[in-house]
């Protein structure tokens, strides 16, 4: 059965959700987060926000800032030569701090959030043509590299006030009786709809995803603040499905996409939390990133597979650096286990061969009732 969200319209038509097609996934996820209690805590939300969600949120926009760089910029005030990169990182860090302490989502607080996210990142044209709250000129959204393909446009700037007021009303009403997964759905509708409106010239994506997080934190739906990581590994599909939703006004497919991939990220968190609790090793932020990448590789990992995957998600490093900084500490602590070697020789491993490896199975339980998306 389809449900219409009359207050949120695209080209005069209300957004539509087919709730029945989401029901099984929704119920499974409700059960999962009930049993995985740690993911519901604010402590867990803060752990994933800083710095892994900063990395993911920026990566979706094409910026490959690794977690160690982010950690060093935030906590050690590291000087890096790329001023824009440092500004991007600090803006997201300050924005996340802001949404953790501010509750009211209204026109003024959203303006403040955008000011934090966009500080010193906008071009002169964007600054000159911003009104008190929103842009005062058209904005074009390019989805193809071909110059003969006409770009999409954001909502007419003359109608932004109306559309944004509708969105703010939707954010601030009918939240009391929603289950955690229903709150997650609503956060993703908010996320999508701000992208559709495109009220600013730039940084609409980061603002929309941070607004979705803000709504989740306000409503204590803490497990789902991890959703940027879900998009990071499926970025091309993300942009395609946003555009498809704009065209057919049916947001069900976008919600299915977010539900499936966020569930996968929560399963990774579940496994990593078990490893943390059973290994008696003080895992660093980089160790957690290593575990996350191993789980993202699915199965049959080799050292070279890991090196290649790392370099798709971050600025390139040498295989020797990746092995010594990421894989070797977990090998030495027994968290990952070296297996047979392939026929390929490499210069960076201890014996000069490319080995298969896996997580130490004694450190976690691969319960098929809980682990339904991952293959480990």
| pLDDT bucket at 270, cuts 50 / 70 / 90 | very high
Q: Say if 228 falls within a structural domain.
A: yes
Q: Pairing between strand 336-345 and 353-359?
A: antiparallel
- What phi, psi does 61 have (nearest 5°)? -90, 5
Domain final residue, candidates 205, 239, 271: 271
Rounded CA gap, 370 and 372, in Å?
Answer: 6
Same structural domain, 222 and 323 = no
Q: Is the pLDDT of residue 78 over 80?
A: no
The mean per-residue pLDDT over the stretch 81-106 comes to: 95
Which residues constitute the domain of residue 73? 18-271
Same structural domain, 250 and 294 = no
Indicate the number of domains in the chain: 2
Fill in the DSSP letter of residue 366. Answer: -
| pLDDT bucket at 55, cuts 50 / 70 / 90 | very high
Q: Say if 171 falls within a structural domain.
A: yes
Least confident of 145-149, 189-193, 242-246: 145-149
Q: Say if 81 falls within a structural domain.
A: yes
Q: Name the more confident of 280 and 164.
A: 164
Rg of the chain, C-alpha, whole Å: 21
Q: Is the pLDDT of residue 203 over 90?
A: yes
The mean per-residue pLDDT over the stretch 337-353 comes to: 90
Same structural domain, 154 and 39 = yes
Output the domain CATH number for residue 162: 1.10.3290.10
Q: Say if 10 falls within a structural domain.
A: no
Tell me what the pLDDT averaged over the chain comes to.
94
Q: What burial class does residue 243 get, using C-beta atoms within 10 Å of its C-beta: 0-12 exposed, 13-18 middle, 19+ buried?
A: middle
Strand blocks (E) in 68-181: 140-141, 152-153
Same structural domain, 94 and 178 = yes
Domain final residue, candidates 271, 295, 327: 271
- Specify the pTM: 0.95
Same structural domain, 36 and 177 = yes
Rounded CA gap, 366 and 10, in Å?
Answer: 43
Per DSSP, helices labelled H in the chain are 23-35, 42-48, 54-60, 67-75, 83-101, 107-118, 124-128, 160-171, 180-197, 204-218, 227-232, 235-248, 252-279, 285-296, 303-313, 319-322, 328-332
Same structural domain, 263 and 331 = no
Q: Say if 3 falls within a structural domain.
A: no
Q: Say if 140 falls within a structural domain.
A: yes
Written as six digits, the tokens of 362 are: 């004694």
SS3 367: coil
Same structural domain, 225 and 352 = no
Q: Say if 276 falls within a structural domain.
A: no
Least confident of 104-118, 201-215, 243-257, 338-352: 338-352
Rounded CA gap, 369 and 31, in Å?
Answer: 10
Q: Say if 2 falls within a structural domain.
A: no
Same structural domain, 192 and 311 = no
The mean per-residue pLDDT over the stretch 177-192 comes to: 97
pLDDT for position 51: 79
Domain final residue, candidates 237, 271, 305: 271
What stretch of H or E contains 339?
A: strand 336-345
Closest CA to 154 of 132, 170, 135: 135
pLDDT for position 1: 67
Q: What burial class does residue 106 get, using C-beta atoms within 10 Å of its C-beta: 0-12 exposed, 13-18 middle, 19+ buried?
A: exposed
Note the pLDDT tens digit of each residue in 7-49.
Answer: 999 989 999 999 999 999 999 999 999 999 999 999 999 999 9
Note the pLDDT tens digit of each residue in 204-252.
Answer: 999 999 999 999 999 999 999 999 999 999 999 999 999 999 999 999 9
Same structural domain, 28 and 128 = yes
Same structural domain, 28 and 91 = yes
Q: Is the pLDDT of residue 294 over 90?
A: yes
pLDDT for position 249: 96
SS3 334: coil
The mean per-residue pLDDT over the stretch 78-105 comes to: 92
Residue identified by tokens 């092995």 is: 323
The answer to whether the Cα torsion of 295, 301, 303, 306 is positive or negative is negative
- What pairs with residue 18 in β-bridges? 2
| pLDDT bucket at 143, cuts 50 / 70 / 90 | confident
CB atoms within 10 A of CB 248: 12
Same structural domain, 213 and 240 = yes
Written as six digits, the tokens of 262 are: 């966020």
Same structural domain, 37 and 85 = yes
Rounded CA gap, 73 and 287, in Å?
Answer: 18
Output the domain CATH number for residue 357: 1.10.10.10
């Amino acid at each position: 059965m389809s449900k219409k969200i009359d207050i949120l319209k695209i080209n005069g038509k209300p957004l539509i959700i087919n709730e029945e097609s989401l029901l099984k996934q929704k119920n499974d996820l409700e059960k999962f987060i009930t049993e995985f209690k740690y993911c519901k805590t604010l402590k867990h939300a803060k752990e994933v926000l800083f710095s892994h969600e900063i990395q993911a949120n920026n990566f979706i926009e094409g910026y490959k800032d690794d977690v160690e760089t982010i950690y060093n910029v935030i906590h050690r005030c590291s000087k890096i030569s790329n001023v824009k990169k440092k500004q991007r990182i600090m803006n997201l860090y300050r924005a996340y701090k802001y949404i953790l302490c501010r509750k009211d989502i209204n026109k003024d607080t959203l303006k403040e959030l955008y000011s934090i996210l966009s500080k010193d990142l906008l071009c002169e044209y964007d600054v000159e043509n911003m009104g008190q709250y929103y842009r005062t000129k058209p904005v074009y959204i390019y989805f193809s590299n071909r110059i003969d393909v006409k770009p999409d446009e954001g909502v007419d700037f003359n109608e932004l006030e109306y559309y944004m007021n509708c969105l703010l009303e939707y954010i601030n009403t009918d939240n009391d009786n929603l289950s955690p997964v229903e709150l997650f759905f609503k956060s993703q509708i908010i996320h999508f709809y701000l992208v559709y409106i495109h009220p600013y010239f730039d940084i609409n994506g980061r603002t929309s995803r941070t607004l979705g997080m803000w709504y989740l934190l306000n409503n204590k739906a803490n497990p789902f603040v991890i959703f940027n990581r879900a998009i990071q590994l499926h970025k091309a599909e993300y942009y395609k499905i946003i555009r498809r939703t704009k065209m057919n006004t049916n947001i069900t497919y976008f919600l299915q996409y977010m539900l499936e991939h966020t569930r996968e990220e929560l399963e990774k968190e579940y496994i990593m939390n078990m490893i943390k609790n059973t290994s008696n090793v003080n895992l660093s932020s980089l160790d957690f990133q290593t575990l996350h990448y191993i789980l993202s590789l699915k199965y049959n990992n080799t050292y070279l597979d890991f090196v290649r995957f790392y370099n798709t998600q971050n600025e390139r490093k040498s295989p020797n650096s990746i092995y010594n900084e990421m894989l070797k500490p977990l090998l030495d602590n027994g968290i990952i286990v070296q297996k047979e070697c392939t026929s390929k020789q490499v210069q960076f491993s201890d014996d000069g061969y490319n080995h298969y490896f896996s997580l130490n199975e004694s450190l976690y339980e691969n319960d098929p009732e809980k682990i339904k998306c991952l293959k480990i």
